């Protein structure tokens, strides 16, 4: 029925807008309740999308698709497991070593500040300045040592939490890889089934939309990977040059090198 009264039309539009905002807020609350699950499925699809060229290369090498998918995911699982097994204990030991060395660091910082204070005061005195710097009054070494000792137990307790979080992350990665494996195996068939459920006049447009999104997202990922690779290689080259320069400087004149 066409509403001719402009006030009733404006009221209907306002009511539809309010109902739309309300339904959108309800939908957003539902999405937020399942945000972790949605993110897990999205990451699983993203991993399958990234690994698709690797699987395609193995299939072109006369390997069955299912075997190529299994080999790819098995290799990825082994690499992730080795990374967690090697990195988590090393990071835990480093954190424990830092906690144990906190008093030493405080002592070294106190000595450095004391020497800096003496040097600065000597320079100010030689210039006839009436102002002098007193760092010890602001930074009490005993107080700093006591605070450093108090920081030890909370950091160690966080180490346990870090190890637990790493184990939880590994379990989530396993679930994500399993979902990604199924996306890789049945993703194309699932997409075709969803497109086939649409009306006939919309199927061609849906296929074109999916192909366009696939092509654009693949180009975006390739660009990001090339950028990350270039940045990593450039950073490694610069750090290597700086490291060799520092060693050469120390070998030539240790006194003038920082």
pLDDT of res. 116: 77
Instruction: Give the separation between CA 81 and CA 187, rounded to whole angstroms.
Output: 26
pLDDT of res. 174: 81
pLDDT of res. 147: 59
What pTM was estimated for this model as a whole? 0.55
User: What are the C-alpha distances in Å from 56 to residues 36, 49, 116, 169, 222?
Assistant: 30, 11, 63, 29, 16
Q: Which two tokens stand for residue 105?
A: 């660091």
pLDDT of res. 206: 86
CA 146 centroid distance within chain: 35
What is the full per-residue pLDDT of the chain (258 aa) written as tens digits? 445 667 777 788 888 888 889 899 888 888 888 888 888 888 888 888 888 888 888 888 888 888 888 888 888 888 877 877 777 677 777 777 776 776 777 777 777 777 777 887 777 777 776 766 766 555 555 565 565 555 556 655 665 666 677 677 777 788 888 888 888 888 778 888 888 888 888 888 888 888 888 788 777 877 887 888 888 888 888 888 877 665 555 555 544 444
The domain ranges of the chain are 8-197, 198-242
Q: Contact 184/48 with Cβ under 8 angstroms?
A: yes
Which residues lie below 8 Å from residue 149, measured CB to CB, with a gap of 6+?
Answer: 102, 103
Q: What is the DSSP letter of 253?
A: -
H or E element at residue 73: helix 65-100
Radius of gyration of the chain (CA): 31
Would the CA dihedral through 104, 110, 112, 115 be positive or negative?
negative
pLDDT of res. 5: 64
């Amino acid at each position: 029925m066409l509403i001719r009264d402009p006030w009733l039309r404006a009221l209907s539009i306002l009511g539809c807008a309010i109902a739309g905002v309300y339904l959108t807020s309800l939908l957003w609350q539902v999405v937020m309740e399942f945000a972790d699950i949605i993110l897990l499925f999205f990451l699983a699809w993203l991993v399958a999308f990234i690994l698709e060229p690797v699987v395609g290369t193995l299939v072109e090498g006369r390997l069955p698709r299912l075997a190529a998918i299994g080999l790819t995911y098995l290799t990825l699982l082994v690499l992730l497991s080795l990374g967690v097994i090697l990195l988590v204990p090393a990071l835990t030991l480093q954190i424990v070593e830092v906690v144990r060395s906190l008093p030493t660091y405080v002592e070294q910082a106190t000595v450095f500040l004391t020497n800096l204070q003496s040097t600065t005061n000597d320079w100010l005195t030689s210039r006839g300045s009436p102002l002098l710097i007193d760092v010890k009054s602001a930074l009490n070494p005993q107080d700093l040592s006591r605070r450093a000792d108090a920081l030890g137990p909370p950091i160690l307790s966080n180490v346990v939490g870090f190890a637990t979080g790493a184990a939880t992350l590994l379990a989530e990665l396993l679930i994500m890889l399993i979902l990604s494996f199924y996306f890789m195996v049945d993703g194309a068939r699932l997409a075709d089934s969803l497109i086939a459920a649409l009306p006939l006049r919309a199927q061609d447009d849906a296929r074109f939309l999916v192909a366009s999104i696939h092509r654009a997202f693949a180009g975006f990922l390739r660009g990001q990977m090339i950028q990350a690779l270039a940045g990593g290689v450039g950073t490694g080259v610069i750090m290597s040059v700086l490291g060799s320069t520092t060693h050469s400087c120390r070998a030539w004149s240790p006194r003038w090198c920082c």
